[in-house]
Structure 1
Amino acid sequence: MTRLTLISRTGCHLCEEAEQVLDRIAAGQWTRVEVSDSVELERDYGDRVPVVILDGKEHGYWRVEEERLLRDMARPPGAPRL
């Protein structure tokens, strides 16, 4: 199971930056989902992309908070986040 998902939009400069960060800190451990491929995703996230999902829960949006993400990734899945 992939722990990290990035909900993204083609042509979004913040999304491109988030993808670069995830490539650097979690290479091969994340998947990208195009927000415009789903009516539900568009409704839930719309212009609030990129959105980082960790272990099925929203971790953050617009910018990747690297330190916080690395800290939370070090915890086992399901452990409480700070």
Structure 2
Amino acid sequence: MPGSTITLLTRPGCHLCDEARAVVTTVVARLVGEGRPIVFDEQSIDDDAALQARWTDDVPVVLVDGRQHSRWRVDPQALVAELTA
């Protein structure tokens, strides 16, 4: 079963980022617990000029395998559905 990579793009002091992190962490823990191989990475856009230029008004952003899944708010059911499809 191939794995997925989830990247959460954030910035310090972002309350929506904190909410998104909680949702993504919960979903990842559940699916990894079920035996699904998932890599989770968080990256601050403030550490990368290109990311900051692209996403500055859109964080938090969840990328699944490099493709945008969501921005601002994360629907846990939609994330599970994408990761288990």
Which portions of structure 1, spanning 4 or more consecutive aligned residues, are displaced by more than 3 angstroms? Answer: none
1:68, 1:60 → 2: CA distance? 9
Classify the secondary structure of the residue corresponding to 1:7.
strand
Sequence identity (%)? 35
Q: Return the alpha-carbon distance in structure 2 between the equivalents of residues 42 and 60 of structure 1.
A: 17
Root-mean-square deviation (CA, aligned residues, Å) is: 1.5
1:8 lines up with 2:18 in the alignment:
no
**Counterpart amino acid of residue 6 in structure 1:** L
Q: TM-score, normalised to structure 1's length?
A: 0.83
Distance 2:4 2:75 in 1: 19
Name structure 2 gaps, 5 residues minimum: 33-38
Residue 43 in structure 1 maps to residue 45 in structure 2? no
Structure with more contact order per residue of length (Cα contacts < 8 Å, sep ≥ 6): 2
Structure 1 residue 56 corresponds to structure 2 residue 33: no
Higher helix share: 2
- Tell me which amino acid in the other structure corresponds to 2:11: R
Shift of 1:30: 1.3
Cα distance in 2 for residues equivalent to 1:55 and 1:2: 6
Displacement after TM superposition at 1:22 (Å): 1.1
TM-score scaled to structure 2, two decimals? Answer: 0.81
Per-residue deviation, 1:67: 1.1
